[in-house]
Structure 1
Amino acid sequence: MRLRDVVRVGASGLVTRPLRVVLSALGIAIGIASMLAVVGISASSRAELDRQLDALGTNLLTVGPGETLFGDTAHLPDDAVAMISRIGPVTSASATATLDASAYRSDLVPEAESGGISVRAARTDLLDTAGVTVAAGAWLNEATAGYPAVVLGSTTAERLGVTAPGADVRVWLGGEWFTVVGILRPSALTPELDMSALVGWPVAEARLGFEGYPTTVYARAEEDAVAAVRDVLAATANPESPSEVEVSRPSDALAAQQATDKALSGLLLGLGGVALLVGGVGVANTMVISVLERRSEIGLRRSMGATRGQVRLQFLAESQLLCVLGGLGGLLLGIAVTSAYAAYQGWITVVPLWASAGGLAATLLIGGVAGLYPAVRAARMSPTEALATP
């Protein structure tokens, strides 16, 4: 039999039972769609993370105080930023300091209800180093840093109900009113700034009891020297007690998050594989029932000269066509789900070619395995036995 004849004979067997075919193909489609959606969403998420890292840079390092030998919280020297700036490969450095103050929308809110918002003193060159941008208003400058002006992180502004800065928009901070001059965009590398109310270094020293010790120093280094800079940051920031300094690389946290997402994707991919296996069992069941129902047809074909190989090929073709229909439907459904979710999250849509090709290969494999036993069983029927079956 020619390939065209095999396809035509196999398709004719499916057309006569449309509802059963649709339900069996649906099982395959759900399995393929599940696997493709998991891979596509995971790939889209990683592409978005890579895009963010490319935009923010992986060369940001942070320096913070550790603990003393007695378990107390240490502090960085007040000239830590200046000393770090002297490291050759360091291109920029800035700092913030956590203050003993809270920010509220009203002066009537109890002090205990801070909402998790921290107040930080910030240097005017912080944004360039940390890679943060302003969503509305303006950042602190040499003029506003000395006055009761505050810039809110994205989460802080949301929690305080501030939608836009302005001369008449104020927050109660450290026992007095501060005017909101700006709101920051969310930052993946510096999430602590999202939950902060940032005031100028001079006004923090003058009005909020700030002693001048930074609690977090941000440093940008040349891309090829990040590891070398990281090794000397502790000793440079605090030469007297380098063991009391903690150095981290924010992009490492994002990389760890990506690894966690990969592990979760592997679990979901396994569940998709189970769904695909269940769909394959459904196809096998459909083909076994088809053989039982079509014994007279098989006997007629055998009596008219059809060989066992031709009968076997007919039922294998039906099984393969059934799985291909389900596979194509699953691919379309999986791509649609991935595209919809990526669009909802604001990501670019990425559907790996290997996932699509693997999905189709999986359907062909399932079709072959699911149809093998029914095809062999049909081929073994003798014409007289098949025709004698009512």
Structure 2
Amino acid sequence: MRIAPVRAGAVDRETADGSGRRRGRGRSDTSRPVRLAPSDILRLGLIGIRTRPMRAALSAVGISIGIATLILVTGIPASSQRDLNRQLSALGTNTLRAQPQPDQKPPVLLPEKASEMVRRIGPVTRASQVANTHALVRRSDRTDPNDGLGLTVLAARPDLLASVNGRVRSGKFLDASTEAFPTAVLGYQAAARLGIPALAPGREPPQVVIADQWFTVIGILDPLPLAPDLERSVLVGWPAAKSYLRFDGHPTVIYLKAREDAIEQVGAVLPATLYPQLPGLVQVSRPSDALAAKRATESTFSALFLGLAGVALLVGGIGVANTMYISVLERRREIGLRRALGANRGQIRAQFLTESVALSVLGGAVGTLAGVAATLAYATYQGWPPVVPLTSVGAGTAGAVVIGMAAGLYPSVRASRLTPTQALASA
């Protein structure tokens, strides 16, 4: 007598009242394949990982190296690039300077509130102004009147340093409490020329003579790479210049900062903003060459990221695919037994595909953590601002899932095509 194999799920569960009666609905129900819940598929997919932990670990290490490489080849160059961008930004990639065309007859007089007008331009983040007072400066009233030739006395606003990336070397800069009084701040070269290299704390500050008026020196500036003309200048407050130097109030140079992506557009509308009568009489400096270098660097790094990340993911995917293929060959007996007990091809595919995805996700999680930690450690060691692109972390997680599905697709299809007799006979 031939006995038909019993299919899993042919016997229904007992009723909730414990009567032991079966809830069959006819003989046709016994021929239906069992539908596995997602938790059952996950449990089956993890069988290979639990029974072969060493192989699973080695396979996970392979994908971990790939994902960690993805994080590293994006995070480390991104950190280096941010440090480079910071250095290039210090060269004035977002700064412009506007002034009247020289030797104009009659001279172009910019409005006194020119910097306020410039700040109304959307992309502009900072703006300030200075004005040449045409006054002479001397170390004292007993020195030669020509002692200060080559130095310029400028009226300045308290917000000037922020617009030119300036720093005070000694003392302090002009502010609301000092700009109306006869106080002065010396540029780096002007201080050396006047014989005042530094201000000693606790001592009476030195004084200089500007247009026969004594001014107290309250600060000395560091070198200004973005505005070298200010290094040879003596800066006084705007109200003080009007009160003591008979200054007319018209600025001669406007310094501003704007967003780098809109620096050219700001330069185009700046002349009409400052002098709408004849915009052509206003001269605007062109953007720094460092801005072009910065943009070229960004595009070069982007291409490098894409190529290295693709190679890393390819290597990891090949490792997972090889592991899954060997797993199918070694587990043919298991496949044949499950097919004989009623598992259909879809369930076999789901089992091995789930195992492949689980291996990749496990390796991807470990690789992401390792890549982030290595990037932070290396950037900190180099003194760079650490940068871990969120797109790389997201790509690591999503890439692990995609790689697992792609790597396990062929092995899972191959396993599902094995008939029970083929699987058991070749085992």
Tell me which interval the TM-score lies in, with the shorter structure as reference length. Answer: 0.5 to 0.7
Matched, 1:198 2:242: no
Partner amino acid, structure 1, of 2:343: A
The equivalent position to 1:316 in structure 2, one of 353, 359, 362, is: 353
**Residue 283 (structure 1) shift:** 0.6
Q: Contact conserved, 2:96 with 2:255, CA < 8 A, in 1?
A: yes
The equivalent position to 2:411 in structure 1, one of 362, 370, 374, is: 374
Unaligned runs of 5+ in 1: 66-73, 97-118, 152-163, 168-180, 203-215
Partner amino acid, structure 1, of 2:43: R
Structure 2: how far apart are the matches of 1:384 and 1:342? Answer: 58
Residue in 1 aligned with 2:325?
A: 288
**Residue 121 (structure 1) shift:** 7.0
3-state SS of paired residue (1:381): coil
Q: Contact conserved, 2:320 with 2:407, CA < 8 A, in 1?
A: yes
Structure 2: how far apart are the matches of 1:182 and 1:130? Answer: 12
**Residue 12 (structure 1) shift:** 1.9
Residue in 2 aligned with 1:20?
A: 55
Unaligned runs of 5+ in 2: 1-35, 119-126, 133-149, 175-182, 201-218, 236-251
Aligned length: 311
Q: Contact conserved, 1:84 with 1:233, CA < 8 A, in 2?
A: no
Q: 1:373 to 1:222 in 2, by over 3 A?
A: closer
Residue in 2 aligned with 1:9?
A: 44
Residue in 2 aligned with 1:271?
A: 308
**Residue 339 (structure 1) shift:** 4.4
Residue in 2 aligned with 1:388?
A: 425
Matched, 1:93 2:129: yes
Matched-pair identity in %: 40
**Residue 271 (structure 1) shift:** 1.2
Structure number, greater radius of gyration: 2
Structure 1: how far apart are the matches of 2:323 and 2:153? Answer: 69
Structure 2: how far apart are the matches of 1:339 and 1:296? Answer: 47
**Residue 289 (structure 1) shift:** 1.1
The equivalent position to 1:137 in structure 2, one of 156, 160, 170, is: 170
3-state SS of paired residue (1:93): strand
Matched, 1:248 2:271: no
Structure 2: how far apart are the matches of 1:349 and 1:384? Answer: 56
Q: 1:318 to 1:233 in 2, by over 3 A?
A: same
Residue in 1 aligned with 2:372?
A: 335
Residue in 2 aligned with 1:231?
A: 271
Partner amino acid, structure 2, of 1:320: V
3-state SS of paired residue (1:248): coil
Residue in 1 aligned with 2:156?
A: 125
Partner amino acid, structure 2, of 1:219: Y
**Residue 25 (structure 1) shift:** 2.1
Q: Contact conserved, 1:120 with 1:199, CA < 8 A, in 2?
A: yes
**Residue 371 (structure 1) shift:** 0.3
Structure 2: how far apart are the matches of 1:246 and 1:127? Answer: 23
TM-score for the superposition, normalised by structure 2:
0.55
Q: 1:255 to 1:303 in 2, by over 3 A?
A: same
Matched, 1:149 2:187: no
Residue in 1 aligned with 2:248?
A: none
Structure 2: how far apart are the matches of 1:274 and 1:16? Answer: 31
Question: CA RMSD for the aligned pairs?
Answer: 5.3
Q: Contact conserved, 1:298 with 1:311, CA < 8 A, in 2?
A: yes
1:136-191 Cα shifts (integer Å, max 9, x gaps): 4236785564996249xxxxxxxxxxxx9666xxxxxxxxxxxxx75649xxxx75
TM-score for the superposition, normalised by structure 1:
0.59
**Residue 57 (structure 1) shift:** 11
1:57-112 Cα shifts (integer Å, max 9, x gaps): 96x422489xxxxxxxx9788x989648674724632389xxxxxxxxxxxxxxxx
Q: Contact conserved, 1:124 with 1:145, CA < 8 A, in 2?
A: no
3-state SS of paired residue (1:305): coil
Partner amino acid, structure 1, of 2:233: G
Q: 1:191 to 1:201 in 2, by over 3 A?
A: closer
**Residue 232 (structure 1) shift:** 4.4
**Residue 241 (structure 1) shift:** 9.1
Q: 1:222 to 1:303 in 2, by over 3 A?
A: closer
Structure 2: how far apart are the matches of 1:308 and 1:85? Answer: 83
Higher helix share: 1
Residue in 1 aligned with 2:341?
A: 304
The answer to which of 343-352 and 14-23 deviates more is 343-352
**Residue 226 (structure 1) shift:** 4.1
Partner amino acid, structure 2, of 1:275: A
Q: Contact conserved, 2:333 with 2:423, CA < 8 A, in 1?
A: yes
Structure 2: how far apart are the matches of 1:343 and 1:127? Answer: 36
Partner amino acid, structure 1, of 2:305: L
Q: 1:9 to 1:140 in 2, by over 3 A?
A: closer
Partner amino acid, structure 2, of 1:128: D
Q: 1:274 to 1:121 in 2, by over 3 A?
A: farther
